Amino acid sequence: MIYLDQAATSYPKPPGVIQAVYETLQHAGNSGRGAHHLSLSASRLIFEARCEIADFLGAEDPSRIAFTANATESLNLALFGVLHSGDHVITTELEHNSVLRPLYSLEKRGVEVTILPANWQGVVDFSALGNHLRSNTRVLVLTHASNVTGNMVDMEWVGEFCREHGLILIVDAAQTAGFYTYDLKHSPIDILCFTGHKGLYGPQGVGGIYVKPGLAVPPLKVGGSGIQTFSKTHPSQMPEALEAGTLNLPGIAGLMAGVRYLKDRGMELICHEECELDRYFYGAIREIPGLEVYGDFAASIRCPIIALNILGVDSNLVSQLLAEEYDIYTRAGGHCAPLMHGALRTRELGAVRFSFSHRNTKFELDSAVQALRDLALRLGRETL
Amino acid sequence: MSTTRVVVTFHTTTEAMAWEKACKEAGLPGRLIPMPVQIRAECGLAWLITPQEKECLIKGAARLNLSYGNVVELE
C-alpha cells in the first residue's frame, strides 16, 4: 500500500506515538480531579505536553496553549469567542469549511464577512487588503496553507498588516503545524489553531489553540475544570478557561510523542525532505498528457500537497481506481474547501489530492506517477 | 495553638504543575497534596511544607518568578 493522503491524516504514526497512547491507557488517571498518584501523573503529563508544544511552536508561555479535539474546535473557539455582532472579519476563498461554516453562522448573528477571492491558481492577492478595511474590521482569519493546492500565505506580511491596523490575526495551521517552523513569541499571529493528527503525528481527536498573552478568548463550552468548584462561572484563566471537561489524555500523550519525534528528526530536515518530494512529484507529472495540475508551483515554499485531474474525469473515479487497482491512497472530491474549488474551476469534478510526508519515498512517488500515466491514457481515451 | 503546617495555594492546575516542576528542579522543599477543606482556594491542589521551610520556599519562588495564590498557615 502506498499512502499519499498525509494531508487528511498522517500515516503511519511513529512507534513512539503508538506506545505513548498505549502506556497512557494502562496508567491514566484524570488530570486535576484529585491528588492521588494517578491523577497527579495525568496532570504532570498534560503539563509536560503543554511545555513541549509551547517550545515547539516558540510560544512564550505554556499556559497559552489549550488542548482541544482538533483544529475545527480551535477555530470555532477563536471565531465565536472573538467576533460579535457588528464586527467585520476578512477571510479568503482558500479556507476550509472549519473556517467558512463558523463565519456563515456568525454572519447570521450580525457579523460582517468579506471573502477575498483567489485566482485560477488558487492564490490570493493580499496587496489590496487595505481596500477591504472598514471601521469595524476586527479580525483576519486565514489558513496558512491551502489544503487543496499546498500554496502558503505569507503570514509575516499579513501579520504586519494586522499589527499596523490593530486587527486580530487568527491562523488555521491544520496543514502547516509540523511542516512550518513557528516562532510565536516573535510572530504577529494572535491565535494559532492546530490539529494533532496531521503533521504533528499524534492520534486523531486531539488538537490545540495558542492565544497570545493579553488576548482573552471566552469559552464555547463550560463545565468541569478541576478548579473553582463552588463558582457559578467557568474559570477565566488560561488554559483551563478553554478546557472544560476531561481532556483526551491518551491523545495528548500521543501528540507529545509526535512532537518529540519531529524535534528529534529536526524540522529543517523534515521541511527539506517534504519539499523535495513535492518538487519531484510535480516534475514527473507536469508533462503527462491529459493531466491538469492546480496551484502555484513557482512559489518559494509550498506544503507537500498536489491536486490534479485527468481532464474531464470524475476525481472520485480516479481516486477509486488508484486505490483498487494500484493500492495507492489519495483523497478526491472537494476537500471541504468549496470556494477554492470555485476558484480552480473544479466544483464539478473535484480534484485528486496527493499529499506527502517525509516518511514517503521517491520510489512510492514513481509508482504513483506510473499509475497516473496509465490512467490518463486509459480514462482520457474513454472520455473522448 | 501553633502553626504545624503551611500550604501554598494555586489559581489553576497548570500553575500547580509549573510550581511543582520548578521547585523539584531547584531542590526546594514540599509536595503536592489535596487542598485542605478549611481553605477555600481556586485549585484543588496545594503545596505542603513545614513552617521551618516557609522562608526558604518563598524566597526560592520569588527567585524563580513563580506565580501562586496564597501562603496559608494551618494550626
pLDDT at A323 exceeding the cut of 70: yes
Q: Kindly report, residue by residue over A205-233, the tens digit of the pLDDT.
A: 999 999 999 999 999 999 988 888 888 99
What is the least distance, in Å, from the CA of B43 to any CA of chain A?
A: 4
Q: Kindly report, residue by residue over A297-321, the tens digit of the pLDDT.
A: 999 889 999 999 999 999 999 999 9
CA dist list (Å): A47 to A40, A65, A68: 10, 10, 14
Where exactly are the structural domains of chain A? 15-265, 266-383
Residue B16, C-alpha cell as written in the block: 500547580
DSSP at A121: T
Read off the pLDDT band of A33 (50, 70, 90).
confident
Residues of B within 8 A of A230 (CB-CB) are 40
Q: Kindly report, residue by residue over B4-28, the tens digit of the pLDDT.
A: 899 999 999 999 999 999 999 999 9
Residue A331, C-alpha cell as written in the block: 483523497
Q: Kindly report, residue by residue over A65-82, the tens digit of the pLDDT.
A: 999 999 999 999 999 999
- The answer, for A16 touching chain B at a CB cutoff of 8 Å, is no
Phi/psi-derived region of residue B21, left when phi > 0, alpha when psi is between -120 and 50, beta in every other case? alpha
Optimal mutation site among A47, A67, A211, A233, interface B, most CBs of chain B within 10 A: A47
The β-bridge relationship of strands B71-74 and B5-9 is: antiparallel
Helices A15-27 & A249-265, crossing angle to 10 degrees?
A: 150
Return the closest-CA partner of residue B52 out of B10, B16, B3.
B3
Q: What is the CATH number of domain A266-383?
A: 3.90.1150.10
CB contact under 8 A, A47 and B17: yes
The complex scores an ipTM of 0.90
pLDDT at A12 exceeding the cut of 80: yes
- How many angstroms separate the CA atoms of A270 and A228, rounded? 43
Name A236's Cβ contacts closer than 8 Å, sequence gap at least 6.
A216
Where exactly are the structural domains of chain B? 5-74
A15-265 CATH, one of 3.40.1710.10, 3.40.50.170, 1.10.3720.10, 3.40.640.10: 3.40.640.10
pLDDT at A384 exceeding the cut of 60: no
Query: Cis peptide before A239, with omega less than 30 degrees from 0?
Result: yes
The CATH class of B5-74 is alpha beta
Q: Kindly report, residue by residue over A243-267, the tens digit of the pLDDT.
A: 999 999 999 999 999 999 999 999 9
- The answer, for A243 touching chain B at a CB cutoff of 8 Å, is no
CB burial readout A222-238, b (16+ within 10 A) else e: eeebbbbeeeeebbebb
Q: What percentage of residues in chain B have a pLDDT greater than 70?
A: 99
CB contact under 8 A, A239 and B45: no
- How many C-beta neighbours within 10 Å does residue B52 have? 9
Chain B residue with minimum CA distance to A241: B12
